[in-house]
């Protein structure tokens, strides 16, 4: 793949060298386009030596090659890291005053910005507006990390780690690739929308050290978050316990229990176009949480745990939307993990669940100890209330990333029909 790596004038420019290495080691051909001011931080020799390609910042170098046209046309992917406040502003306003911004205007493939700046600059309404503009045009703008900044200060504004940028950039290409096995949503298909996704498994405390949990790894929810971001959405991830890190670029809300997840989901649904309930939420919780650790005593009978039912959050969200009459969220998507049993098969359970919950789409997968939970591959059926009784729904199989791309594609198609 041909990649243009744009480098802005921030301290984090040195980290772009690690990102460049990740791309070249994965076999990609990278042309680095540093801005003039970025050369105060990292010199051209570093980029030329590491990329093996000539490096320029100006449209007036090698004029006969018309580099800005060539680079923009040939790039399968443009990644800007670090994207400074200045670069975001220049890109958002369509300026073309150096080689990088000219190249950005020529690009027709996916563009990923990895911002880095002081918290005040990131939070400034001007920067926020530029980010919103870029996202509305289909660019992926990652959320910066939170942590130590250039000086002694800490806060949001850190460049996401190179491996996170690498993963997000490749996800943007997968999602944009019309030839991919799982047709993905077009870049920008979800631009201007807010998508809330729940992920992971809840933990229901028994006492301060023990809990009832489940095998959910969070891989499906995080893959959905990446696919939705690649389609241009602002993504809020309500994360219960996950074995995988939350993807960079999401607005992260951490929760532990079903009741916490319920509160977060209700709070989030007010400004969400889409809510995807991919978390494994405990159906039951211990009726009592013991305040001190339950002790093993020889003179006492073994403890008995009684459970109470947790609220049905998916059904509640649908009912709350109906009661409010606002039509927000436009789409509520449920997930069902079913094992099937002697009396009903998985599909039948799925159809019944869809009818009972009243959601707009239900993603159904068959689970077992080694099926789905924690695995990288999955197979799902996407059920809709519009399906006929014989319809088995749209099926999708592959890695969780591929299946997520398909689900997000279906969601963007459903949104388009609703607003048509
Ligand atoms: C030491 C130093 C560190 C800087 N770090 C950042 C930064 O992390 N993010 C940012 O947006 N600007 C930063 N700036 C300011 C930019 O260099 C300045 O806005 C410049 O015009 C950016 O231009 P460019 O990225 O379009 O090349 C820094 C400036 C200095 C002197």
Domain ranges of the chain: 2-176, 194-419
- What 3-state class would DSSP assign to 225? helix
For residue 375, what pLDDT band results from cuts at 50, 70 and 90?
low
DSSP 336: E
For residue 345, what pLDDT band results from cuts at 50, 70 and 90?
confident
Mean pLDDT throughout 276-288? 96
pLDDT attached to residue 186:
64
DSSP 223: H
CA-closest residue to ligand 1 atom 6: 10
pLDDT attached to residue 179:
43
Task: Name the burial class of residue 290, with classes exposed (0-12), middle (13-18) and buried (19+) by CB atoms within 10 angstroms of its CB.
Answer: middle
CA separation for the pair 70, 183 (Å, rounded): 28
409 Cβ below 6 A of ligand 1: no
* Closest C-alpha to 99, from 36, 53, 46: 36
Tokens 């009912």, residue? 319
Mean pLDDT throughout 32-58? 97
The two beta strands, 234-239 and 284-286, are unpaired
Q: Is the dihedral of CA 225, 226, 227, 231 positive or negative?
A: positive
Ligand 1 centroid distance, CA of 31 (Å): 21
Q: Best substitution site from 44, 86, 127, 150 to test ligand 1's pocket, by max atoms within 8 Å of Cβ?
A: 86
Ligand 1 centroid distance, CA of 192 (Å): 28
218 Cβ below 6 A of ligand 1: no
For residue 342, what pLDDT band results from cuts at 50, 70 and 90?
low
pLDDT attached to residue 182:
44
- What 3-state class would DSSP assign to 41? coil
pLDDT attached to residue 344:
60
CA separation for the pair 90, 237 (Å, rounded): 29
Catalytic residue among 67, 214, 310, 365: 214
CA-closest residue to ligand 1 atom 19: 86
Mean pLDDT throughout 52-72? 90
150 Cβ below 6 A of ligand 1: yes
67 Cβ below 6 A of ligand 1: no
Ligand 1 centroid distance, CA of 2 (Å): 27
CATH topology of 2-176 equal to that of 194-419? Answer: yes
390 or 77: which leads in pLDDT: 77
- Asked if the model's pLDDT at residue 231 lies above 70, the reply is yes
Chain-centre distance for alpha carbon 307: 34
| 214 labelled catalytic | yes
Query: How many Cα neighbours within 13 Å face the side chain of 82?
Result: 27
* Closest C-alpha to 156, from 117, 198, 182, 213: 117
Q: Best substitution site from 10, 87, 127, 149 to test ligand 1's pocket, by max atoms within 8 Å of Cβ?
A: 10
Residues ≥6 apart with Cβ < 8 Å to 210: 293, 294
Query: Which residues are bridge partners to 78 per DSSP?
Result: 4, 111
CA separation for the pair 216, 177 (Å, rounded): 29
Ligand 1 centroid distance, CA of 16 (Å): 14
CA separation for the pair 159, 181 (Å, rounded): 32
pLDDT attached to residue 109:
86
- What 3-state class would DSSP assign to 189? coil
Distance set, CA 178 to CA 185, 268, 409 (Å): 9, 32, 11
CA separation for the pair 155, 123 (Å, rounded): 11
- Asked if the model's pLDDT at residue 178 lies above 70, the reply is no
Ligand 1 centroid distance, CA of 75 (Å): 25
Mean pLDDT throughout 89-116? 94
Distance set, CA 357 to CA 100, 343, 353, 407, 409 (Å): 50, 21, 6, 19, 22
Q: Is the dihedral of CA 125, 126, 130, 136 positive or negative?
A: positive
On whether the 194-419 domain is CATH 3.40.50.10300, my answer is yes
CA separation for the pair 73, 63 (Å, rounded): 16
Chain-centre distance for alpha carbon 74: 27
Q: Which of 46-50, 57-61, 149-153, 291-295 comes out lowest in average pLDDT?
A: 149-153
- Asked if the model's pLDDT at residue 369 lies above 60, the reply is no
Please provide the average confidence, as pLDDT, over all residues in the chain.
89
- Asked if the model's pLDDT at residue 417 lies above 90, the reply is no
Of 16-30, 375-389, 391-405, the range with the highest mean pLDDT is: 16-30
CATH no., domain 2-176: 3.40.50.1950
CA-closest residue to ligand 1 atom 21: 86
Ligand 1 centroid distance, CA of 221 (Å): 35
117 Cβ below 6 A of ligand 1: yes
Residues ≥6 apart with Cβ < 8 Å to 279: 198, 199, 200, 201, 202, 216, 221, 238, 240, 261
- Asked if the model's pLDDT at residue 357 lies above 50, the reply is yes
């Amino acid at each position: 793949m041909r990649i243009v790596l744009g480098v802005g004038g921030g301290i984090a420019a040195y980290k772009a060298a690690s990102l460049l290495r990740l791309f070249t080691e994965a076999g990609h051909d990278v042309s680095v386009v540093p801005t003039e001011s970025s050369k105060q931080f990292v010199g051209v020799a570093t980029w030329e030596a590491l990329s093996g390609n000539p490096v320029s910042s100006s449209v007036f170098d090698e004029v006969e090659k018309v580099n800005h046209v060539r680079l923009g046309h040939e790039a399968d992917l443009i990644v800007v890291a670090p994207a400074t406040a200045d670069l975001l502003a220049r890109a958002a306003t369509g300026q073309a005053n150096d080689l990088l911004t000219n190249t950005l205007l020529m690009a027709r493939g996916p563009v990923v910005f990895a911002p880095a700046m002081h918290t005040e600059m990131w939070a400034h309404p001007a920067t926020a507006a530029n980010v919103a503009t870029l996202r509305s045009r289909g660019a992926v703008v990652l959320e910066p990390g939170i942590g130590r900044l250039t000086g002694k200060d800490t806060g949001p504004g850190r460049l996401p780690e190179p491996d996170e940028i690498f993963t997000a950039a490749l996800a943007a290409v997968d999602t944009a690739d019309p030839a991919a096995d799982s047709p993905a949503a077009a870049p920008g298909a979800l631009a201007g929308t807010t998508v809330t996704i729940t992920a992971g498994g809840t933990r229901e405390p028994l006492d301060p050290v023990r809990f009832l949990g489940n095998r959910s790894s969070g891989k499906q929810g995080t893959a959905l978050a990446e696919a939705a971001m690649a389609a241009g959405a602002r993504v809020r991830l309500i994360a219960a316990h996950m074995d995988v890190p939350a993807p960079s670029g999401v607005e992260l809300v951490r929760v532990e229990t079903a009741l916490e997840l319920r509160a977060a989901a209700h709070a989030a649904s007010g400004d969400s176009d889409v809510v995807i309930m991919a978390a494994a939420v405990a159906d039951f919780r211990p009726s009592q949480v013991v305040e001190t650790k339950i002790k093993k005593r020889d003179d006492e009978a073994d403890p008995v745990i009684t459970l109470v039912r947790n609220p049905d959050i998916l059904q509640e969200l649908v009912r709350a939307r109906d009661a409010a009459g606002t039509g927000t969220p436009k789409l509520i998507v449920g997930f069902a993990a079913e094992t099937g049993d002697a009396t009903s098969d998985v599909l039948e359970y799925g159809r019944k669940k869809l009818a009972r919950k009243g959601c707009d789409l239900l993603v159904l997968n068959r689970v077992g100890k080694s099926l789905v939970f924690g695995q990288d591959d999955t197979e799902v059926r996407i059920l809709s209330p519009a399906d006929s009784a014989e319809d088995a729904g749209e099926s999708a199989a592959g890695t969780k990333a591929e299946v997520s791309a398909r689900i997000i594609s279906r969601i963007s198609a459903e949104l388009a029909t609703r607003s048509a």
